[in-house]
């Protein structure tokens, strides 16, 4: 019995999709446990480019059952679109299981998300993906949400849908929210329901039984630690628990079932959306990382904010996640640099600290303290073992391990599935 959890230890976009795909080679089941189609997991296989938003990246390895568990918020229309995209590329999606307990993102959730973002002023903007994620989790928390399992009973589902849709129009339209065309929206959701009902399952049982039967289960996190609703840079966060603790509530697996935690860490930092980002670079160095790393959102296409690796933040998130092994991604993006900086402490006023401030206003005031390391100035993209890495690249990786207090388990030196090696 073994269960691995994989999470991002920064602000998302660490390259989790690719590492999940690599780890799926040894897995018997892959499970998404939180978030929704705000995520964008990119995987490259022999020049073919896949971007997945909801379906676990494990789907790209034939024969591995994929589960969308109870902690996920699911837009039924978008899920069907993603299934169709995969089918058109000859990927078998027939085995996908969708939790009866997951909450559905309904059309009004997307309108509320857009209304709130568009009408928010200044630092009240979060920079959400406008996929309805926050409003869907709000409905879950205020106990008015619609769960996947309700789709089985058409009459009950339709009544709940119409009641909530009409309540949205009554409440939001007078405030300036877009009016929802209830009939058109229902038609679209109804069509998606037809496709999804056969996939509904009590995934809590599926996952626990698989684990009890000795299947190696891989739990796929989305976003990253600093977007966690509790542990992130609140309020500039997403609305779910992106850290490893969320994997238990999001699947129904008990904490003791988890045997291993993988933290995915990009060799530098990026962030999309608003909120403090201590090591952000506003100069040509930041531009270099963005263009070299292709740092544009896989979901929204927004340019990502880029900066040096923040070891203070990563040490904190490795602690919260209980990371056993790090998977370091995009090392090759740094190949051409003469010098590389790592943030090892923060200055706040006349104090220097090595701990991560719990309040976002303090984080916004910190000045990063950098350590400078020599670059390796040679291509790493074809390297497939630790000993062949340039010595300066080895030193950089060892320093990351030391500063975060974690072991390195995987290094990735390019986008393809094969440009990865175990350490
Ligand atoms: P939401 O999840 O759409 O509500 O957006 C909340 C914040 O999380 C925004 O700053 C988004 O840019 C960020 N976010 C959500 N999903 C991702 C992701 O997959 N990668 C990076 N940032 C994300």
Residue 409 belongs to what H/E stretch? strand 407-412
Please provide residue 74's backbone torsions phi and psi, each rounded to the nearest 5 degrees. -115, 125
Only one residue has tokens 């090892």, namely: 344
For residue 5 and ligand 1, the question of a CB distance below 6 A is answered with no
CA of 74 to the centre of ligand 1 (A): 15
Selection from 83, 9, 89 nearest residue 45 by Cα: 89
Ligand 1, atom 10, residue with closest C-alpha = 273
- The answer to whether 11 and 228 are in contact (CB under 8 A) is no
pLDDT of res. 44: 85
CA distance 31 to 20: 10
Two tokens, residue 400: 């990351």
Distances from the Cα of 249 to the Cα of 71, 108, 353, angstroms: 7, 26, 33
Q: Point out the residues that are catalytic.
A: 13, 41
Q: Which atom of ligand 1 is nearest to the CA of 35?
A: 2
Alpha carbon 412 to chain centroid, angstroms:
18
For residue 220 and ligand 1, the question of a CB distance below 6 A is answered with no
Residue 266 pairs in a beta bridge with 329
Mean pLDDT by 10 residues, the chain (423 residues): 95 93 92 96 87 93 94 98 96 96 98 95 90 98 98 98 98 96 98 98 98 97 97 97 98 97 98 95 96 89 95 98 98 98 96 95 96 98 96 98 97 93 95
First-to-last alpha carbon distance for the chain, in angstroms, is: 24
- The answer to whether 193 and 146 are in contact (CB under 8 A) is no
Q: Within a 10 A sphere around the Cβ of 409, how many other Cβ atoms? A: 18
pLDDT of res. 238: 97
Two tokens, residue 289: 């990382």
For residue 238 and ligand 1, the question of a CB distance below 6 A is answered with yes
Burial of 305 from C-beta contacts in 10 A (0-12 / 13-18 / 19+): buried
Q: Which atom of ligand 1 is nearest to the CA of 13?
A: 20
Mutation pick for ligand 1 pocket among 10, 42, 128, 222 (CB with most ligand atoms within 8 Å): 128
For residue 227 and ligand 1, the question of a CB distance below 6 A is answered with yes
For 100-132, give one letter per residue: b (16+ CB within 10 A) or e. bbbbbbbbbbbbbbbbbbeeeeeeebbbbbbbb
Cis omega (within 30 of 0) for bond into 235: yes
For residue 342 and ligand 1, the question of a CB distance below 6 A is answered with no
Ligand 1, atom 19, residue with closest C-alpha = 39
For residue 232 and ligand 1, the question of a CB distance below 6 A is answered with no
For residue 411 and ligand 1, the question of a CB distance below 6 A is answered with no
Q: Within a 10 A sphere around the Cβ of 423, how many other Cβ atoms? A: 16
Selection from 19, 42, 37, 10 nearest residue 224 by Cα: 10
Please provide residue 281's backbone torsions phi and psi, each rounded to the nearest 5 degrees. -110, 130
For residue 221 and ligand 1, the question of a CB distance below 6 A is answered with no
| DSSP for residue 296 | B
For residue 127 and ligand 1, the question of a CB distance below 6 A is answered with yes
pLDDT of res. 40: 87
CA distance 47 to 380: 18
Pairing of the two strands 97-99 and 200-201 = parallel
CA of 377 to the centre of ligand 1 (A): 33
pLDDT digits (tens, 9 = 90+) for 295-340: 998 778 889 999 999 999 999 999 999 999 999 999 999 999 999 9
CA of 129 to the centre of ligand 1 (A): 6
Only one residue has tokens 């684990």, namely: 211
CA of 48 to the centre of ligand 1 (A): 25
pLDDT of res. 297: 84
Q: Which atom of ligand 1 is nearest to the CA of 227?
A: 8
CA of 214 to the centre of ligand 1 (A): 34
pLDDT of res. 298: 78
CA distance 197 to 262: 33
């Amino acid at each position: 019995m073994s269960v691995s959890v994989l999470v991002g230890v920064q602000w998302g976009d660490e390259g989790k999709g690719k590492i999940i795909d690599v780890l799926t080679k040894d897995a018997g089941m892959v499970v998404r446990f939180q978030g929704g189609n705000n995520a964008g997991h990119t995987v490259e296989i022999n020049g073919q480019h896949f971007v997945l938003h909801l379906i676990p990246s494990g789907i790209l390895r034939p024969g591995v059952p994929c589960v969308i568990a109870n902690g996920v918020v699911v837009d039924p229309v978008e899920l069907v679109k993603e299934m169709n995209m995969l089918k058109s590329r000859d990927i078998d999606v027939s085995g996908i299981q969708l939790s009866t307990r997951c909450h559905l993102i309904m059309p009004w959730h997307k309108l509320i998300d857009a209304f709130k973002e568009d009408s928010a002023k200044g630092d009240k903007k979060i920079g959400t993906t406008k996929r309805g994620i926050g409003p869907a989790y709000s409905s879950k928390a205020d106990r008015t949400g619609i769960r996947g399992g309700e789709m089985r009973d058409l009459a009950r589902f339709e009544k709940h849908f119409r009641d909530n849709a009409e309540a949205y129009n009554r409440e939001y339209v007078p405030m300036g929210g877009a009016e929802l065309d209830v009939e058109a929206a229902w038609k679209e959701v109804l069509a998606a329901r037809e496709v999804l009902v056969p996939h509904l399952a009590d995934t809590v049982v599926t996952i626990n039984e698989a684990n009890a039967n000795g299947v190696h289960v891989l739990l796929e996190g989305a976003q990253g630690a600093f977007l966690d609703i509790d542990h992130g840079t609140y309020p500039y966060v997403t609305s779910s628990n992106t850290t490893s603790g969320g994997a238990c509530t999001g699947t129904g697996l008990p904490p003791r079932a988890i045997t291993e935690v993988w933290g995915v860490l990009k060799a530098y930092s990026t962030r999309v959306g608003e909120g403090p980002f201590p090591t952000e670079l506003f100069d040509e160095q930041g531009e270099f990382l963005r263009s070299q790393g292709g740092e544009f959102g896989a979901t929204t296409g927004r340019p990502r904010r880029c900066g040096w690796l923040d070891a203070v933040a990563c040490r904190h998130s490795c602690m919260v996640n209980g990371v056993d092994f790090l998977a370091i991604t995009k090392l090759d993006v740094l190949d051409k640099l003469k010098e590389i900086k790592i943030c090892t402490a923060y200055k706040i006023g006349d104090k220097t600290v090595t701990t991560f401030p719990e309040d976002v206003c303090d984080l916004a005031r910190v000045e990063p303290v950098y350590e400078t390391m020599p670059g390796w100035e040679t291509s790493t993209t074809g390297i497939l073992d630790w000993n062949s890495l340039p010595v300066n690249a080895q030193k950089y990786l060892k320093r990351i391990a030391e500063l975060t207090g974690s072991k390195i388990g995987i290094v990735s030196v390019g986008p393809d599935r094969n440009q990865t090696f175990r350490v």
